Amino acid sequence: MRVEKGSLCVMDETRRPTLISSVQRALHLVEAVASHPNGAPAKQLARETGLPLATCYHLLRTLAHEGYVSKLSDGVWILGDRFEALRSQGRTQALLARIRPTMISLRDELNAAAYFGLYEDGEIRIIDIADGPRTPRVDLWVGFDEAAHATAIGKCVLGQLDEDSRRDYLDRHPLVDLTPNTVTELKELLRRLETPPQLSLDREEYAIGTVCVAVPVTTPGGTVMGALAVSCRSSRLPKIEASADQLRRSAARITRTLSLTI
């Protein structure tokens, strides 16, 4: 035991940490469920974990309510969808750690906020943004899921999709009028997307005073489709366009990272 002079705090260095036994039982039960890919009945799980059957049922119901386990029609228990979501989050965090240096480097080279977006499960999502006090991000005043048609990243990804996937996306996402420059006519947008330019541009289509430039980030075979972009004040667009090779080189580095990660 140690008593610090001038302090009322007394710390017993040999004291064991307080453990919550119910949490331990739940975790051991999850491990038991995970060890049976085809599922296992509650009675078997109770035997393997040394839990009373009633306790095992209570824990399974609680875990099922939270999405960590699921009961199939034949009465066996398997891991729930919540674990797949956690695995997906873990993969995303690992990916961000790998591409973050490239994002920061691009931001500093072009003195502009950098954005990375991916096409996942039929949606176009912003995965990471590298900004700073001197390179502020654009004010995302409208959710990106409602504005892909008005952003460089969104148009860059839409241009990579096949016709059916592109139509499906646009059928589910109305072309909201955000500024006087936003393209809201479906035929006109589709015409522009048929032959994507080397650089996808947002010329104040999402926000007045801000422009954005994007290039594709696509792994071989189209396993992953996304885009890398930078935003800046409208007056800086010519300079950013002139630096397109730096943007493409950064996109190539991210593409290699994605290919190795996958």
Report the mean per-residue pLDDT for the chain.
87
CB-facing half-sphere around the CA of 26: CA atoms within 13 A: 15
The residue among 29, 55, 79 that closes a domain is: 79
**Res 1: pLDDT:** 47
**Res 262: pLDDT:** 57
pLDDT tens for each residue of 156-166: 999 999 999 99
Burial (CB count <10 Å: 0-12, 13-18, 19+), residue 15: exposed
Distance of CA 88 to the CA centre of its chain: 8
**Res 19: pLDDT:** 77
Number of domains within the chain: 2
Same domain, 49 and 152: no
**Res 14: pLDDT:** 55
The residue among 79, 102, 119 that closes a domain is: 79
Pairing mode, strands 200-203 and 123-130: unpaired
Q: Which amino acid is at 92?
A: T
The three-class DSSP label of residue 78 is strand
Residues 229, 154 contacting (CB under 8 angstroms): no
Query: Is the model's pTM score more than 0.75?
Result: no
Q: How many other C-beta atoms are found inside a 10 Å radius of the C-beta of residue 204?
A: 19
Q: How many other C-beta atoms are found inside a 10 Å radius of the C-beta of residue 77?
A: 23
Choose the weakest-confidence range: 32-46, 75-89, 212-226: 75-89
pLDDT tens for each residue of 57-106: 999 999 999 888 999 988 999 988 887 766 666 566 777 788 899 999 99
Residues 219, 119 contacting (CB under 8 angstroms): no
- State which residues form the domain around 48: 20-79
- Comparing CA positions, the residue from 120, 118, 138, 136 lying closest to residue 128 is 118
Does a structural domain hold residue 4?
no
Task: Residue 216: give its domain's CATH number.
Answer: 3.30.450.40
Same domain, 219 and 105: yes
Does a structural domain hold residue 62?
yes
